[in-house]
Amino acid sequence: MKKLSGLGVLVTSVALACVVGCASDSGNSQQSQPAAQTAQNTPPPPPPKPKPKKDKRPIEQRLVVGMTMDDVRAACGNPRNVSMNSDGSAMWIYDNSQNAFIPYYMDSGGKIHHVTIFFDNNGKVKSWSATDTGMY
């Protein structure tokens, strides 16, 4: 008998929870109607701008003498190493040395590409050099 009465209490509790849950839900639908009406009066958001395609050319082909440091950062990304000299000139180094951690990358003919960019004391590109290192 006790099992039957416990089951009856459980069924009653679930039914009561459903009724209370449904009653509170109907109040929310009335509150959301004015918000929906105001949303209809606003213009739709503009479509998202497409991302510019990543420039896959080698770094040295993206450089031009006279570019600013900001221009170089926009064209090539953040440098791996930065050094500043006492006269105000700078040197940035880019490379793909992370590829050396790929198993057998260097053994199979893969090369590490290094680009060093030299800036004058006004922060403009003066020159650059590029080298490849590898096993073969």
The tokens for 94 are 């880019």
User: What is the pLDDT tens value at each position of the chain, 136 positions in all?
Assistant: 445 565 566 566 665 565 555 554 555 545 555 555 555 678 888 888 887 777 788 889 999 999 999 999 999 999 999 999 999 999 999 998 888 888 888 888 888 899 999 999 999 999 999 998 887 6
59-134 CATH, one of 3.30.1330.20, 3.30.1450.10, 1.10.540.10, 3.10.20.30 = 3.30.1450.10
In 10 A of CB 124, how many CB atoms?
14
C-beta separation of 95 from 115 below 8 A: yes
How far apart (Å, rounded) are the C-alpha atoms in residues 30 and 40?
A: 16
Domain ranges of the chain: 1-33, 59-134
Sequence-separated (6 or more) residues with CB below 8 Å from residue 104: none
pTM > 0.85: no
